[in-house]
Amino acid sequence: MKIKTILSQYRNDFTATIICEHCNHEEKLTTGYDDNYYHTTVLPARTCSKCYKNRAGDIPRLTLETSYEKQIVLYIPRHAVDDMSKWEQGVISSKNDTYVFVRFNGNPGVAVDPSDLTIKQ
Ligand SMILES: [Zn+2]
């Protein structure tokens, strides 16, 4: 995400309209902080709430270590990153040493590679 318009600023704190470099989705940023670290690290890493990509075009993925029960996730298979009709929201019900099991639409858990999942915003 990048800044489109600064809406207010007080000392280093600012609010802004930010825009996604990939899908042009706009969001209001209420937690801006005007320093080098924020502009070069925090904002480029921020993901769009529509396409889930950061500035580099990457979608942060879950791992077994960062997955936990009852986590609300979005299934974004790697072959369908740009086809939102293939995305599906679910809830992690459990995991083993390879897969996490995700309930989609209340169905029993389906084994999913955690790297096909991201945290639902
Ligand atoms: Zn986007």
Q: Residue 101 is inside which H or E element, if any?
A: strand 100-104
Q: Which residue type does 77 have?
A: P
**Phi/psi at 84 (5° precision):** -60, -20
- Do the Cβ atoms of 117 and 67 come closer than 8 Å? yes
108 Cα: distance to centroid of ligand 1 (angstroms): 31
Whether residue 43 is predicted with pLDDT greater than 90 in this model: the reply is: yes
As a whole number of Å, the CA-based R_g of the chain is 17
Q: What is the pLDDT of residue 6?
A: 98
- Whole-model pTM: value is 0.89
CA 8 and chain centroid, separation: 26
What is the per-residue pLDDT across 9-19, written as a single tens digit (0 to 9) for each?
A: 999 999 999 99
Q: Tell me: the pLDDT tens digits for 44-96?
A: 999 999 999 999 999 999 999 999 999 999 999 999 999 999 999 999 999 99
What pLDDT shows up at residue 106? 78
Q: Write down all domains in the chain, each with its CATH number in brackets.
A: 2-45 (no CATH), 72-119 (2.30.30)
What separation, in Å, do the N-terminal and C-terminal C-alpha atoms of the chain show?
15
Instruction: State the distance from the centre of ligand 1 to the C-alpha of 57, rounded, in angstroms.
Output: 9
State in Å: Cα 5 to ligand 1 middle. Answer: 17
Q: How far is the CA of 96 from the centre of ligand 1 (A)?
A: 32
CA of 54 to the centre of ligand 1 (A): 8
CB 38 within 8 A of CB 31: no
Contact between residue 102 and residue 90 where contact means Cβ atoms under 8 Å apart: yes
